[in-house]
Amino acid sequence: MHLYSVRSYTKLLVKTLRHRYIAIAIVLVLLVSSGSMIPFLGVDMFADEEVPILMVQVRTPVSNNLEATDLIIRQIEAAALSLPREDIINVVATTGFIETRDDAITKTSVGQVVLELVKNTKRKRSIKQIKDELRQKCKNISGIESINFEVPMSGPPVGAPVELKVQGRYFEEMVKVKEVVKNELRQIDGVVDIRDDWEEGKMELKVRVNPEAAYNAGLEPAQIAWTVRQAFEGQVATVFKDADDEVDVVVKMATTQENQLDQLANLKLTNRFGRRVALKDVAEFSLEPGYSKIERFDFERTITISADVDESKITGVEANNILREKLKYIPQSFPGNNLDYRGEFDEFKKSLDNLVQLLLIGVFIIFMILGAQFHSFIQPLIILFTIPFGFIGAVVGLLVINAPFSITAMYAIIALTGIVVNNAIVLIDFTNRYREEERGRWKSIIDAGRIRLRPIFLTSITTVLGLLPMGLGLGGKSPLWAPMASTIIWGLMVSTILTLFIIPALYAIVDDIRLRKVKA
């Protein structure tokens, strides 16, 4: 069997060498075709394991007390408990606390309901189906400002599928832009759970001093601010002793919620001439909502808008592209406000850029080491030609298991870079040795392939067999590790086969070019 295999390989190798230029052209066509297949595979930014948990995060008006928020959370909890029991293990409702992707928030106007689900191997429905049903049940619950149905991720932390930041100087303008963006998102079919991190604070009594009136009345703005502060916070006038304790006597304005504004307006201030001036004569008053918090990104005031997508209708990439097109007019219509697109796709691009840089650095290091080893810079290029072979096999592997291109697959391709070159190194090294023994050009190339056929195949097969259980999902298929294993398995198999035929052909072509130069 071994002799038959070697003879068959030798015959095919001879035919490949005779048509070496056609063989290289075919490989280049395969490489281009593999690259064009990525859009058909789809792109799943960060493939991860399914965590059987569904979190419903709720925000209500900031003025809500704990009791009002709890009434809403109880309705959502009841909706969760009405789901089929074969899908759910437990439901836990919490009022006054939510845990987001980035932070944990504690306040009276928020709450969350966590559903512990049955494992996917024992559950008939997917988390998406359960989430869609619960979303419909919660659709008519009143008093909710925003609601988010989130599935925790076992992979690296990433942003929402759709996420952008509104940045500017004035919150009044930024809030208008925020509403425009959210309205545009609502019109994109498949975009769900639209939310933002903007929260109005509680009502504040604001005093705006009229500089001209204050100057004419003989008052300074700092004096007015100090007097208003003392009226509400008070000032320690004296201290009296109660046994061994010292008690501060604080003097401040006696106010009630009903007449607070009138009392403040009639507050008397003493100007530099010793006259009494009413505060209403030098200032204006208003009750306005304050800021619950001020978020900044890159030192600029920021409101973050995010949304999820129904992947059966649209992907995060498509939604981002549509939104970019729809919001081109924002910088002109709202000068001073910028849109910064972030989220899952942005993080994928950054990760991909970093991986490509690492890949290029790794290839360069391999090239320099091989150059020093072979005392040539042409033969290392022949060896590095095996890296595209691994990419062709990686795409085949993803097609076979119907998995999208992801960061995990990219890791596997980088791992293949260091694996697939080994076989080419051995072939080139043996060919060089045989040529030094003056066996002749063609005999050296064919003998190197024939002699190294068995070791190359055994090395590749042992690696493939070691990864096969993970690739086939024996003991449980993993959406995170199965694509990586399949990518390496198919990448190694395809690259091994192509290396045995194409590397000798490429070696012969380089030799052709060298001989033509010598004759010239």
3-state SS, 177-224, equals HHHHHHHHHHCCCCEEEEEECCCEEEEEEEEEECHHHHHHCCCCHHHH
> pLDDT at position 1, please?
43
What would the mean pLDDT of 269-286 be, rounded to a whole number?
Answer: 85
Q: What is the pLDDT of residues 305-353, one digit of tens each?
A: 988 888 778 877 788 888 888 898 888 889 989 888 877 667 767 777 8
**Sorting pLDDT into bands at 50, 70 and 90, what band is 102?**
low
**What are the DSSP calls for 261-314, one per residue?**
HHHHHT-EEE-TTS-EEEGGGTEEEEEEEEES---EETTEEEEEEEEEE-TTT-
* pLDDT (mean) for 234-262: 75
In this prediction, residues 32-51 reach a mean pLDDT of: 72
Indicate the helix (H) or strand (E) that contains 241. strand 235-242
Distance CA 213, CA 281 (A): 7
| Mean residue pLDDT across the chain | 83
Claim: this prediction has a pTM higher than 0.75 = no
d(CA 206, CA 507): 82
Q: What percent of the chain has pLDDT over 90?
A: 9
State yes or no: pLDDT of 466 exceeds 90.
no
Q: 175 or 235: whose pLDDT is higher?
A: 175
pLDDT of residue 302: 92
Determine which of 79-88, 219-228, 271-280, 396-405 has the lowest per-residue pLDDT on average: 396-405
Q: Give the pLDDT band of residue 76 (cuts 50, 70, 90).
A: very high
339's CB contacts (< 8 A; 6+ apart) are 164, 165, 166, 167, 177, 181, 327, 330, 331
Q: Is the pLDDT of residue 407 over 60?
A: yes
- For the stretch 141-166, pLDDT in tens is 988 888 888 887 665 555 678 888 99
CA atoms within 13 A on the CB side of 427: 32
Residue with tokens 């064009």: 36
Range of weakest confidence among 122-131, 267-276, 411-420, 470-479: 470-479
Least trusted range by pLDDT, from 57-66, 256-265, 292-301, 421-430: 256-265
Beta strand 283-291 with 104-117 is: unpaired
Greater pLDDT, 408 or 110: 110
**Per-residue pLDDT at 421 exceeds 90:** no
pLDDT for 440? 82
Percentage with pLDDT > 70 across the chain: 92
